[in-house]
Structure 1
Amino acid sequence: MIKLVYCITRKDGMSRADFLKTWLEDHGPLVKSYAETIGAKRYVQSHTGMDEINESFIPTRGLKQPYDGITEIWWDSLEAMQAGSTSDAGKAAARALLEDEKRFIEFSKSAVFMTEEHEIF
């Protein structure tokens, strides 16, 4: 299994409540509507919370403020992900998802990368 990990920061000036509502109630269903087209097997949003605990990690590790959340999308293989993203329908889905993300994600403060999972326990 491979996974896309997207560490997300909300748009400057957007309230946390509006960001979470947009991400969960608008963007989540949009991603789900394209899941078969892009060949995705699983999609999870993890919303950052527990601010006091998160802030306690900063001085002990020299970290910056946490992201507002992460998205994870799984595919069975790299080939499955590539097949879903290179078809005409997959390219159209990617464009639609990017346009929607522009409404609530501050790209310059976010990060996205592909991973290969290695389950330890």
Structure 2
Amino acid sequence: MIRFINCVRKRSDVTSEQFRQYWNDPKFDAIVDRVVEYTGATGRSKNLTLMVAANDLMHEKRAFGEPFDGVLEYWWEDAGQLNAVLNSPQCDVLMKSMLDFQIQFVDLEKSCAFFTEAQE
């Protein structure tokens, strides 16, 4: 299974509350769902970091860096199918709409995205 993981941090001029409003906006959900539909993803996950003391404790005890504000993940069974759609003009348009929405609340330079292979 191939997974795409997008770990995002909010822009410095965006409050945590504003970030959560953007993250939970139905427009954002619609873009995420279009990515699933177009790419044939077999699943997706959209998660917000909990604002709890346990995160602060882990940061202190393990010297972890600051947590991401949200994590967006898609997964596919077949990498070949994914490669075919990633190189299409339609995917470029879809990714531009995702970028145009995220740029309102995501600090792209402090965020990261990568593909993984699930080891089950």
TM-score by length of 2: 0.89
Partners of 2:72 and 2:80 in 1: CA distance: 21
The answer to whether the 8 A contact 2:12-2:107 is kept is yes
Paired residues of 1:34 and 1:93 also in contact (CA < 8 A): yes
Structure 2: unaligned runs, 5 residues or longer: none
Q: Distance in 2 between matches of 1:34 and 1:72?
A: 11
Partner of 1:117: 118
Partner residue of 2:24?
A: 24
Q: CA RMSD in A?
A: 1.4
Measure the CA separation in 2 of the matches of 1:106 and 1:54. Answer: 21
Equivalent AA in structure 2 for residue 109 of structure 1: K
Question: What is the CA–CA distance in structure 2 between the aligned matches of 1:43 and 1:18, rounded to whole Å?
Answer: 23
Shift of 1:68: 0.6
Q: CA deviation at 1:76?
A: 1.8
Does the residue aligned with 2:14 lie in a helix, a strand or coil?
A: coil
Cross-structure match for 2:55 = 54
Displaced runs of 4 or more, over 4 A: none
Cα distance in structure 2, aligned partners of 1:54 and 1:34: 30
Q: Deviations over 1:5-49 (max 9, x none)?
A: 111101111111221121222312211023222222212111101
State whether structure 2 residue 45 is matched by structure 1 residue 33.
no
More moved, 52-61 vs 22-31: 22-31
Q: Describe the SS at the equivalent of 1:94.
A: helix
Q: Size of the alignment, in residue pairs?
A: 119
- Paired residue type of 1:18: Q
Query: What is the TM-score when the length of structure 1 is the normalising length?
Result: 0.88
CA distance in 2, matches of 1:30, 1:14: 21
| Partner amino acid, structure 2, of 1:65 | E
Give distance in 1, aligned partners of 2:35 and 2:70. 21
**What whole-Å deviation, never above 9, does each CA across 1:79-120 have from its counterpart, x for those lacking one?**
12212211221121112111211111101111111101113x
Task: Return closer, same or farther for 1:59/1:37 CA change in 2, 3 Å cut-off.
Answer: same
